[in-house]
C-alpha cells in the first residue's frame, strides 16, 4: 500500500481524530533507544543533541517531566503517501490562521499533528473545516 498522493483527496478524506491522551515532548542526552522503550514512547527521533521522545503524560510523570507543555495528538486518518506534497503545508496553514501551534509527525500510514492540549478541540474543528471546504 503506497498511500494517497493527490492533495485534494488527502484533505477531503483526512478525518481528523483526536486522541484523548495528553503527551509530552521530552529530550534525553544520555538515554538510548532501548532504555526509552520502557516508557512507551509513541515517537522517537534521534537528534545531535539527544533523543526526542513523545511520551504519554503518565510516563513523563514517572520521569519527573510532566511540567513540560502537554500536547494532544490529532491523527489524519487518511493513508497518505510519504511522497505526497502539500498536506503538511495545508494543515499547518489552517492551524496557523487560528494561531494554533502544530508539531507534525509523518508516519508510514498517517500524519499526526500535536497541538497544545488547551487548543486541541479548536484545532480539530479547524481541520474539519479545511476538509469540508474541498
For residue range 55-97, what is the model confidence (pLDDT) as tens digits?
Answer: 999 999 999 998 889 999 999 998 988 888 988 999 999 999 9
Gap between the Cα atoms of 56 and 43, Å rounded: 10
For residue range 13-44, what is the model confidence (pLDDT) as tens digits?
Answer: 999 999 999 999 999 987 777 788 889 999 99
Average pLDDT over residues 115-123: 98
Residue 69: its H or E element: none
Indicate whether 88 belongs to any domain. yes
Secondary structure E strands in 57-109: 70-76, 103-106
Give me the numbers of helices (H) and strands (E) for the chain, helices first please.
5, 6
Report the domain count for the chain.
1
**pTM recorded for the entire structure:** 0.91
What sign does the CA torsion over 55, 58, 64, 68 have? positive
Indicate whether 65 belongs to any domain. yes
Indicate whether 114 belongs to any domain. yes
Residue 12: its H or E element: helix 7-12
Indicate whether 2 belongs to any domain. no
CATH number for position 71: 3.30.2130.10
Indicate whether 1 belongs to any domain. no
Domain that holds residue 15: 7-132
Amino acid at each position: 500500500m503506497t498511500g494517497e498522493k493527490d492533495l485534494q483527496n488527502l484533505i477531503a478524506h483526512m478525518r481528523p481524530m483526536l486522541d484523548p491522551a495528553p503527551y509530552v515532548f521530552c529530550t534525553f542526552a544520555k538515554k538510548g533507544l532501548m532504555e526509552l522503550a520502557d516508557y512507551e514512547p509513541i515517537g522517537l527521533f534521534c537528534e545531535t543533541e539527544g533523543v526526542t521522545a513523545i511520551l504519554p503524560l503518565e510516563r513523563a510523570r514517572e520521569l519527573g517531566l510532566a511540567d513540560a507543555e502537554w500536547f494532544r495528538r490529532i491523527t489524519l486518518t487518511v493513508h497518505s503517501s510519504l511522497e505526497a506534497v502539500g498536506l503538511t503545508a495545508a494543515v499547518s496553514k489552517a492551524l496557523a490562521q487560528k494561531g494554533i501551534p502544530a508539531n507534525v509527525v509523518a508516519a508510514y500510514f498517517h500524519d499526526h499533528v500535536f497541538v497544545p492540549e488547551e487548543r486541541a478541540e479548536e484545532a480539530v474543528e479547524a481541520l474539519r473545516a479545511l476538509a469540508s471546504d474541498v
